[in-house]
């Protein structure tokens, strides 16, 4: 599995419609699902949470949970559904996640995370990875972080995706936890130095491929989050620059045309147009008349009777570059 560049799991954003769209821009970047709780998978609508288009490969399923038996059952589902990796969320600081005893609060109990990782590895043949913070609350010493990484690595985890910020479990919203605690790239770089045998992926505040290439001098891979969603064209040169694939880069208008058959199939299956169109608003970010593109979609895609043609009409608002 090549994790040189990944797009982060983002709740309400990286659903199957978003991932299909991003795959039209980059063939090789590893894509992640939204976090899915073990309870939602085991007691809810599995196809709704797990179905994806084969075009999305490579694609990883991110789980939220802490019970080893439940995590094992969900890891088996990930393999049955054809995912390329299963990832455990140990980074989300929201109150809802804490009340379910998973997410960032698990950094305080590395043994619990290790048990979950071991159970997942025994249940499937997929790579099992962990995404976490550099610390939580006052448990933010480098010694505590190395104890967490070494404990989880002993359970068989070889890949750690590290958000280079600590999280405050109370007092800050999830949004504030992405912005207020300072970025400490040096801490993640030091983890790579101290654990050279592990694959270390860095996450947090990385906004373009130049910054990604700079990070790759220190770590094995880079995960980009909100910038990849809000300005997806930053991924257009990723295949060339980071993966050595010299295929022709499509234009933004060509991406729209490539998206249309998928949008039409989804629409025929009963998916409202705005379930797809909401993910593509950033496609023309920084281009002339980008606002006209966004406005046409925002004003029309949600209307009764809207068809995928709304997307094509919006693209006509923007001159071919």
92 is catalytic: yes
| b/e burial code for range 248-273 (CB count within 10 A of at least 16 → b) | eeeebbebbeebeebbeebbeeeeeb
Q: Are 103 and 111 in contact (CB under 8 A)?
A: no
DSSP secondary-structure letter at 55? Answer: G
Nearest Cα to 188, choosing from 224, 153, 160, 207?
160
Are the C-beta atoms of 170 and 195 separated by less than 8 Å? Answer: no
Residue of 92, 105, 124, 157 with catalytic role? 92
CA dihedral 221, 227, 228, 233 (to 10 degrees): -120
Contact 86, 78 (CB under 8 A): yes
- Burial category of 234 from C-beta neighbours within 10 Å (exposed 0-12, middle 13-18, buried 19 and up): buried
Using alpha carbons only, what angle is made at residue 283 by residues 270 and 239, rounded to the nearest 5 degrees?
105
Alpha helices in 65-184 (DSSP H): 68-81, 95-99, 110-123, 142-154, 174-177
- Which residues carry out catalysis? 92
């Amino acid at each position: 599995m090549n994790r040189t560049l990944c797009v982060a799991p983002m709740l309400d954003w990286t659903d199957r419609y978003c991932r299909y769209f991003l795959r039209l821009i980059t063939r090789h970047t590893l894509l992640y699902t939204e976090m899915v709780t073990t309870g939602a998978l085991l007691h809810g609508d599995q196809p709704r949470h797990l179905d994806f288009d084969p075009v999305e490969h490579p694609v990883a399923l991110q789980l939220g949970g802490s019970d080893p038996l439940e995590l094992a059952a969900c890891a088996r589902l990930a393999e049955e559904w054809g995912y390329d990796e299963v990832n455990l969320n140990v980074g989300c600081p929201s109150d809802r996640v804490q009340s379910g005893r998973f997410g960032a609060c698990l950094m305080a109990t590395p043994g619990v995370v290790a048990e979950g990782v071991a159970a997942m590895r025994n249940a499937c043949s997929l790579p099992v990875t962990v995404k976490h913070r550099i610390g939580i609350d006052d448990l933010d010493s480098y010694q505590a972080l190395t104890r967490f990484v070494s404990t989880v690595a002993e359970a068989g985890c070889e890949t750690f995706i590290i958000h280079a910020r600590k999280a405050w479990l109370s007092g800050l919203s999830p949004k504030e936890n992405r912005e207020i605690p300072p970025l400490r790239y040096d801490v993640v770089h030091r983890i790579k130095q101290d654990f050279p045998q592990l694959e270390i992926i860095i996450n947090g505040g990385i906004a373009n491929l130049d910054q990604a290439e700079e990070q790759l001098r220190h770590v094995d891979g880079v995960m980009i989050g909100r910038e990849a969603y809000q300005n997806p064209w930053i991924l257009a040169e990723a295949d060339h620059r980071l993966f050595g694939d010299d295929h022709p880069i499509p234009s933004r208008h060509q991406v729209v045309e490539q998206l249309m058959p998928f949008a039409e199939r989804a629409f025929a299956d009963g998916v409202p147009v705005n379930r797809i169109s909401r993910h593509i608003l950033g496609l023309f970010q920084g281009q002339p008349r980008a606002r006209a593109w966004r406005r046409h979609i925002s004003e029309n895609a949600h209307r009764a009777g809207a068809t995928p043609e709304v997307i094509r009409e919006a693209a006509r608002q923007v001159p071919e570059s």
